[in-house]
Chain A
Amino acid sequence: MLNQQNVNAFNYRKRIIIAIFLIIAVIYLGRLFQIQVLDHSYKASASSNITRHITNYPARGLIYDRNKELIVYNEPYYDLMVVPGQIKNIDTTEFCSYLGIDNKTFKARVLKAREFAVHLPSVFEKQIPNEEYAILKEKLYKFPGFFVQPRTLRRYSKPMAAHIFGYVAEVGPEITKNDPYYKPRDYIGISGIEKSYEEVLRGQKGVNIILVDAMGRDMGSFQKGKYDESAVSGTDIFLTLDAKLQEYGEKLMQNKRGSIVAIEPSTGEILALITSPSYDPNLLVGRSRASHFRDLQNDTLRPLFNRALMAQYPPGSAFKIVNTLIGMQEGIVTTNSRYSCPGFYRSGNITVQCRNHPSPVDQISSIQYSCNTASSIIFRNTLDNSKFTSMQQAFNNWRNHVLSFGFGRIFNNDLPYELPGLVVSSEYYDRIYGTRGWRSLTIISLGIGQGELGTTPLQLANLAATVANKGYFYTPHIVKAIENIDSINPKFTQKHTTSVDSIHFATMTNAMWQVTLGGTARFARIEGIEIAGKTGTVQNPHGENHSVFIAFAPVENPKIAISVVVENAGYGSTWAAPIASLMIEQYLTGEIKRSWYEKRILDAYFLKPYPEVKQ
């Protein structure tokens, strides 16, 4: 049986065989060392395998007005989620009937979710309102694979101030890519204070970590919920806004195009910020948000355009306040100044029309009657002052005065998407006319607030506040307080002083008071309330003049400064001034006694369908 020679010949081979066994064992141990000890990625994969992070979405912070009236709150909604791998023997037709969808839609959505992930949840139907959910809730047990995730959406107690609040929407892919805080399906403030106070309002997301098996089935909470976090609601915000005044202003502006901005002069707090036409903020919430947004975008009245911050009008005669104050500061206008007005101002081949009014006028009555002749002379004298060596120097001196009133730049406050208006520089005229090609007469229209000048309603209201404060202003802002935070942004308590001395503002206040007592805005008088104001009638190339009025009241210790712009309505005195008057009455007395006066405004209709005016 035994073949001794053969055995000997191949005896060495046992060592080779043992060597092969050894080599394989060593290779395997090395490989195991690599994946078990050196490479940590498998541990991470293992934990993401078995845990599923379910986000707890926080409710956004509530928003109150200055009188602590709740104006923005939250309502529960439900996102219906689906885990496609867990759908089992369900009655599709019955299920679809609860959601109001057809079988085809059902299949398409499940397919889409399946493409995303078979064992992970994805949204089947988002933002189901409470009343619909109540029906679904009872039946949900019949449909394995579906569950709901509670969310909250905004609700607005009054259909107003849409532009101030802005709106909230699901984050887009650009944001989730760049900001690690945001994950798909999170909400984020897109405009208004929802945007500017996003970090305050959004709250803190929480998480429930649950264990899942390979089928994605819930195997209970991870480590008995040790690492779970509940969501923390967003912080509440108190606005400077007076909800009643805002609501009333929006009512007054119905069927009109334009804006009202009211500010508390002593603080810069915005009391009302009205843009018209506007829309009901409740439209931009929930499932129909996108379609409503499209409708608003296509509306020829442009309700999404935030006129209070973004419309840039030449201020018209209201700007005479600024020009006269500069004249006073420069010593051009004094108590002794007299200007005789033949009904127009003429120099060379340029004529500026004025109206019929008592002549001559002084520094007070020139404002009272809004005399274009006086304004033209004052403006030219300011620029043609012999102390300046060049036109450019003179112009820049004037321009710097204007800028100190807050014109030509954004306030950069807590309202996003503000536009700076327009105060051109001397280089602008150099480019058009050549360095030596322009004189004070060339730019005479600036003297009456026309020409290359753009101001927003917010800037005009700030001008009224600046006069009310006799020479300074606080940055207009919309948030008064944030819950649990003692002080507001220090930027808003910083005084901005104009380059004109306060003594001149006292004179100007007197002049503006005369405007309502016996000047262009007699119509705006209110029994028992002293109002200082200035009308403006702004020419525009697209049609009827814009009606402008700025005012503050009471004259002593002013509580409200206001600007009103009604586009294409005509004289400032006929529409803008009465609206400002009603607003002041509403704010200071809390009621309107002049119902006939109010009715005239409410009945007025100025929405002619032609394109937006932008200058």
Chain B
Amino acid sequence: MKQGFFHDFRNIDKTTVLIFVVMLFIGWLNIYAAGYKESHNSIFDISQNYGKQFVWILIAFVLGFTVMLTDVKFFIAFAYPIFITIMLLLISVLLFGTEINSSKSWFQIGGFNIQPSEFAKFATALALGKFISSIKSKTITFQNRIKAFSLIFIPFAMILLQNDAGTALVFSAFVFMLYREGYISGLLLSFAVTAAFLFILTLVMNEFIIIAILSIIAIIAAYVLRNKRKEIFLVLGLFIIMSAYVYSVDYAFEKFLQPHQKNRIEVLIDSKIDPLGAGYNLNQSKIAIGSGGLWGKGFLKGTQTKFDFVPEQSTDFIFCTIGEEWGWAGSFVIISLYLFLLIRIVIIAEKQRALFSRIFGYCLAGMLFFHFAINIGMTIGLVPVIGIPLPFFSYGGSSLLAFTVMIFVFLKLDAKRLDLL
């Protein structure tokens, strides 16, 4: 055991650990900058967010270390019990939890708030890995597909019941793993991408203009394919389906969405509609980031975040502080770090001999990517305002600890990859 321990530490992917540590450090500094008060100028001041974050970081290190000490087979063997326990926690938080920001998804323990839904991501990744890797047959049956989807749908539905749509949406990040493992076809993926693209386009543009553009594309395609009858019908069929989709999205948007939901999406389209209302966050967020320029205003020199113009600035809008104080250069560094980490995880996942390990890696990469894309996209006005944190940067323990556990479980799996089959 002792030898195994040192062996694991020697085999751990040091690049990933380094990126992890660097991200936590930068995140901590930015939480300090976002919440900086002259009266509480120590970065370790426990009464402030930055002091608390330091505690969370310490806990994260301890947790990562603990995970490295744990026998990795424990996570594989106990994947289902862990999943079931977390699902029970999700139910109990619905009954006994505390409501924060209209989401009933928190347990309050001392001065710290814990969100079980953050750990549901980890539990679901374990359960999916366990389930898919245990299938013996070579082809993927419809039944197994449904079972895999159900593992995602159960926590998704329960988190949705907690009125935490942002966290629930993160469960769509499993598509990357499902796609990689062949549970989703390429056609379906491109179909989903096209549907999402057309959806946003419909909200931005008049639906008739889009249909007009689609018909021009269809006519050109039909002309190019004029000698191939079968393809012409396909083009025609696609055109009809897409037009109907665009039209029904617009119809549904006008007809079924509640005003506040409509508002969130409309704000994305034109944040100047109501700068102090629903658009306020987005507008101020863009002002803060945009005012950073190429090199930024410098550490602790950001005025927009400091004077509370940006709401939720140390949690969901932490990227504003980065953009304002470190400029485009800083944004470039952060995005590059993320990209590097994501690609690193994919590369490590592909090295795995154990299917469980690879599935787990893709689940981790997918969720990290989803958080990254939605959170930063939201601050720069490319994605609707959905309240999910930027992992390792946003203030808060639940998300940090959940991702720390996942990363170290993955690194432990990797360190043991030769032992696992």
Contact = CB atoms under 8 A, between A and B. Distances in A.
B339 A36 contact: no
Nearest to A219: B307
B328 A24 contact: no
Interface in B242-288: 276, 284, 286-288
Interface stretch (B39-47, B112-120, B290-298, B401-409): B290-298
B328 A37 contact: yes
Contacts of A2: 353-355, 421
Interface string A321-365: 000000000000000000000000000000000000000000000
Contacts of B133: 1
Given A10-B180, A10-B182, A1 B421 contact: yes
Of B276, B303, B356, which is in contact with the most chain A CB atoms at under 10 Å from its CB? B303
Nearest to B283: A45
B335 A29 contact: yes
Contact of A215 (B308, B332, B376): B308
Contacts of A16: 179, 186
A13 B180 contact: yes
A513 B380 CA distance: 90
Interface string B185-199: 010000000000000
Interface stretch (A55-63, A206-214, A255-263): A206-214
A50 interface: yes
Given A1-B356, A28-B335, A29-B335, A46 B304 contact: yes
B335 A25 contact: yes
Interface string A36-66: 1101011101110110000000000000000
Given A2-B353, A49-B304, A17 B290 contact: no
Interface string B155-192: 00000000000000000000010011110001000000
Contacts of B287: 42, 45-46, 49
A572 B105 CA distance: 99
B346 interface: yes
A212 B338 CA distance: 35
Nearest to A24: B373
A33 B355 CA distance: 40
B321 to A, nearest CB: 13
Of A32, A47, A214, which is in contact with the most chain B CB atoms at under 10 Å from its CB? A32
Interface string A152-176: 0000000000000000000000000
Contacts of A10: 180-182
A21 B288 CA distance: 25
A31 interface: yes
B182 A9 contact: yes
Nearest to A118: B276
A16 B338 CA distance: 17
Nearest to A15: B346
B377 interface: yes
Given A35-B289, A50-B307, A25 B350 contact: no
Given A13-B179, A35-B290, A50 B304 contact: yes
A42 B176 contact: no
Interface in B354-368: 354-356, 362, 365
A214 B369 CA distance: 32
A386 interface: no
Interface residues of A, number: 43
Interface string A1-34: 1110111011001101110111011011101110
Contacts of B304: 46, 49-50
A13 B184 CA distance: 11
A473 B287 CA distance: 65
Given A10-B181, A37-B328, A46 B293 contact: no
Nearest to A2: B355
A61 to B, nearest CB: 39
A20 B372 CA distance: 13
Interface in A534-593: none
A5 B421 CA distance: 15
B346 A17 contact: yes
Nearest to B352: A2
B307 A25 contact: no
B205 interface: no
Interface in B36-70: none
B201 interface: no
B380 A31 contact: yes
B204 to A, nearest CB: 15
B309 interface: yes
A39 B290 contact: yes
A13 B134 CA distance: 21
Contacts of A6: 138, 181-182
B323 interface: yes
Interface string B94-138: 000000000000000000000000000000000000000111001
Contacts of B354: 1-2
A37 to B, nearest CB: 5
B225 interface: no
Interface in A66-84: none
B181 A36 contact: no
Given A28-B380, A219-B307, A36 B290 contact: yes
Given A17-B176, A28-B380, A33-B328, A42 B286 contact: yes
Of A31, A41, A47, which is in contact with the most chain B CB atoms at under 10 Å from its CB? A31
Contacts of B180: 10, 13-14, 17
Nearest to A31: B380
A577 to B, nearest CB: 72
A615 to B, nearest CB: 60
A75 B134 CA distance: 91
Given A17-B179, A37-B328, A42 B355 contact: no
Contacts of A215: 308
Contact of A5 (B138, B181, B309, B369): B138
B331 interface: yes
Given A2-B353, A2-B354, A43-B293, A21 B369 contact: yes
A290 B186 CA distance: 76
B342 interface: yes
Contacts of A17: 176, 179-180, 346, 362, 365
Nearest to B304: A46
Contacts of B284: 49, 214
A28 B290 contact: no
Contact of A18 (B179, B186, B288, B343): B343
Contacts of B342: 18, 21
Closest 3 CB pairs of A and B: A42-B290, A46-B291, A213-B307
Interface of A: 1-3, 5-7, 9-10, 13-14, 16-18, 20-22, 24-25, 27-29, 31-33, 35-37, 39, 41-43, 45-47, 49-50, 118, 211-215, 219
24 contacts: A2-B421, A3-B135, A5-B138, A14-B350, A16-B179, A21-B339, A21-B369, A28-B373, A28-B377, A29-B335, A32-B323, A32-B331, A32-B332, A35-B290, A36-B331, A37-B294, A42-B286, A43-B290, A46-B288, A46-B303, A50-B304, A213-B308, A214-B309, A219-B307
Given A32-B335, A43-B290, 13 more contacts: A1-B356, A1-B421, A6-B182, A10-B182, A14-B346, A16-B179, A18-B343, A35-B286, A39-B290, A42-B286, A43-B291, A46-B304, A211-B303
